[in-house]
Amino acid sequence: MPNSSRPRTPLRPKIGVFDSGVGGLTVLRALVERIPDADYLYFGDTARLPYGSKSAATVAHYAVGAVRYLQDEGAELLVIACNTATALALKEIKAAAGVEVIGVVEPGAAAAAAASRTGKVVVIGTEATMASHAYRRALEGLKVEVREKACPLFVPLVEEGWVEHAVTEQVARIYLAEAFSDDARDADVLVLGCTHYPLIKPLLRRVAPEHMAIVDSAESTARAVARQLQIEALRPSAEAKSERRGVPVLKFFATDSAEKFRKMGTRFLGLPVEEVLHVDLKE
Ligand code: DGL
């Protein structure tokens, strides 16, 4: 006989995370830190990246195929970790999905608006994300002025592993000097609007004007997912290690070599990437 007075064990959510490649593992990393008690299915479309230089129609086509795959695998909530896919195709993804979808742009924009005192922020991302003006729309909706700056060299530099490298630092100096010029001089927030940029956050911290707050869309998105699931997000800090944490179960799907994904993924996730399945999505 069911015992109605027994407290119900909270169900473990099954969260699908989609990205064009390994970059979205920075979002998965933030999710796992805040919501460890969950099953994660991560899809990296490594055979077709980069998305950042592709058209909206192509990105939407690829992304819809991938999220359908995640849903067929049992994902009950979808996180679009890729800034480019969120910026260019969130509407199409939502229309095709039968479950709740959370992208990275809105949480990032909301966190930036909350952090800014001057009401001016700078967003950096891929060419496609910047050209879509998705961040601009989201931030202007929150009454914040925006300077968008495409930084296309950062993705290949990070993938090369040059996260602390003189060349990356020089490139960052040039990009940020352009970004914070003229009427964006008094901007006080820098939004990392690309999956790869959290890996160069320490370098950007050094190069960006000192008073600048850096908002990482990965962190803000993890908090938005916790809110959606009505779960109290854990703090990712060192002292939080003592909090009672569940153990996440991680499963990965990649459209290019599983071995390559495993190697590169470990660097982005900061945890061993073990179970990787190669997926061939038919065009
Ligand atoms: N994941 C992409 C983003 O966040 C960067 C890599 C790519 O261009 O595919 O915009």
Give yes or no: residues 209 and 151 share one domain: yes
Q: Is 124 in the pocket of ligand 1 (CB under 6 A)?
A: no
- pLDDT band for position 8 (50/70/90)? very low
Give yes or no: residues 210 and 228 share one domain: no
Maximum Cα interatomic distance, the chain, rounded to a whole number of Å: 71
Please indicate, yes or no, if residue 136 is contained in any of the structural domains: yes
Q: Is 220 in the pocket of ligand 1 (CB under 6 A)?
A: no
Q: pLDDT at position 237, please?
A: 57
Long-range Cβ contacts of 151-157 (<8 Å, 24+ apart):
151/124, 151/125, 151/126, 151/175, 151/194, 151/197, 152/52, 152/53, 152/126, 152/127, 154/124, 154/194, 154/196, 154/197, 154/200, 155/23, 155/50, 155/52, 155/126, 155/194, 155/196, 157/200
Please indicate, yes or no, if residue 9 is contained in any of the structural domains: no
Give yes or no: residues 117 and 78 share one domain: no
Q: pLDDT at position 5, please?
A: 46
Mean pLDDT of the chain: 92
194 a catalytic residue: yes
The DSSP code sequence of 101-160 is EEESHHHHHHHHHHH-SSSEEEEEE-HHHHHHTHHHHHHHTTT-EEEEEE-TTHHHHHHT
Ligand 1 atom 7: residue of nearest CA: 50
CATH number at 187 reads 3.40.50.1860
Give yes or no: residues 111 and 213 share one domain: yes
Looking at the structure of the chain, the number of domains it has is: 2
Q: Which of 217, 252, 268 corresponds to the end of one domain?
A: 217
Please indicate, yes or no, if residue 40 is contained in any of the structural domains: yes
Cα distance between residue 16 and residue 50, in whole Å:
20
**Residue 182, both tokens:** 């003229």
Question: What is the DSSP secondary structure assignment for residue 40, as one 8-state letter?
Answer: E
Beta-bridge partner residues of 103: 80
Give yes or no: residues 117 and 176 share one domain: yes
Give yes or no: residues 96 and 124 share one domain: no
Stretch 55-64: mean pLDDT, rounded? Answer: 97
Q: Is 129 in the pocket of ligand 1 (CB under 6 A)?
A: yes
pTM over cut 0.75? yes
Residues 87-103: pLDDT tens digits? 999 999 999 999 999 99
Give yes or no: residues 204 and 225 share one domain: no
Stretch 32-45: mean pLDDT, rounded? Answer: 95
Q: pLDDT at position 240, please?
A: 52
Residues 186-239: pLDDT tens digits? 999 999 999 999 999 999 999 999 999 999 989 999 999 999 998 876 666 544
Q: Which of 177, 198, 217 corresponds to the end of one domain?
A: 217
- pLDDT band for position 132 (50/70/90)? very high
Question: What is the DSSP secondary structure assignment for residue 65, as one 8-state letter?
Answer: H
Q: Is 46 in the pocket of ligand 1 (CB under 6 A)?
A: no
- pLDDT band for position 15 (50/70/90)? very high
Give yes or no: residues 37 and 98 share one domain: yes
- pLDDT band for position 3 (50/70/90)? very low
Q: pLDDT at position 7, please?
A: 41
Give yes or no: residues 213 and 231 share one domain: no
Please indicate, yes or no, if residue 31 is contained in any of the structural domains: yes
Please indicate, yes or no, if residue 2 is contained in any of the structural domains: no
- pLDDT band for position 72 (50/70/90)? very high
Active-site annotation holder among 194, 200, 229, 233: 194
- Which atom in ligand 1 lies closest to the alpha carbon of residue 104? 4
Provide the residue range defining the domain that includes 34.
Answer: 14-103+221-278
Q: pLDDT at position 140, please?
A: 98
Stretch 112-118: mean pLDDT, rounded? Answer: 97
Give yes or no: residues 207 and 110 share one domain: yes
Ligand 1 centre distance from Cα of residue 237 (Å): 27
Please indicate, yes or no, if residue 6 is contained in any of the structural domains: no
- Which atom in ligand 1 lies closest to the alpha carbon of residue 125? 10
Give yes or no: residues 244 and 190 share one domain: no
Ligand 1 centre distance from Cα of residue 68 (Å): 19
Please indicate, yes or no, if residue 29 is contained in any of the structural domains: yes
Least confident span in 146-155, 170-179, 210-219, 242-251: 242-251
Please indicate, yes or no, if residue 1 is contained in any of the structural domains: no
Residues 233-274: pLDDT tens digits? 666 654 455 555 678 999 999 999 999 999 999 999 998 999
Cα distance between residue 93 and residue 150, in whole Å:
24
Give yes or no: residues 211 and 118 share one domain: yes
